[in-house]
Amino acid sequence: MPSPVDDGELTPPPGTSAVAWTIAMAYLKARAAIDDLPPGTLDARKTTDLVLGADTACELDGRIIGKPASAADAANTLRAMRGRTQRVVTGVALVCPAHPRTRRLLVVDVAQVTFGALDGQAVDAYTATGQWQGKAGGYNLSERLADGWPIVVSGDPSTVVGLPAQRLGDWLSQAMAWGAA
């Protein structure tokens, strides 16, 4: 179920790292989802239930880049990324609804994304489609690669997409061990 937290309406405080921001947002999303569940959905004694929250942000020159607010913002962001490497950070929160304060796993994965020489016309054509909306950094990796954009990823591509699949199994195993405790 989608979380009622809209991270596009929030701005990181000055000096906040992308790691701290995405972990905080992931936890807020998970807690808000727990709080938004209809009464009787969860058994308060059950320690094997988990709610997962995730959030992704790009970081360029130490500045967090979230979801662009407009097409112009998306175009400027994408132009700034041309010929450069950015960090893409995805924070994940696994929270036990029965014990949300004590049984939570807050983790992060980071990938590096390098944009090659991207033509300004390609940026303009892309931003005109509106596909940048709701996406950290203003782009969807798989769509941009499919369109032939010169992008190289170092790390887990699913981290860039928004949920680090290569590490998720280990994190789930850690969190599921709470039920045995």
* Domain harbouring 172, CATH code: 3.90.950.10
88 occurs within a structural domain: yes
Looking at residue 72, its pLDDT comes to 95
31 occurs within a structural domain: yes
User: Per-residue pLDDT tens for 13-31?
Assistant: 888 999 999 999 999 999 9
The total domain count for the chain is: 1
For the chain, residues with pLDDT lower than 50 are none
Looking at residue 110, its pLDDT comes to 97
21 occurs within a structural domain: yes
1 occurs within a structural domain: no
* Sign of torsion over alpha carbons 98, 101, 105, 109: positive
2 occurs within a structural domain: no
89 occurs within a structural domain: yes
Q: Which long-range contacts (CB under 8 A, 24 or more apart) does 118-124 make?
A: 118/78, 118/79, 118/81, 118/82, 118/83, 118/149, 118/150, 120/79, 122/147, 122/149, 123/75, 123/78, 123/79, 124/75
Please list the active-site residues. 55
Looking at residue 146, its pLDDT comes to 94
77 occurs within a structural domain: yes
117 occurs within a structural domain: yes
Looking at residue 178, its pLDDT comes to 73
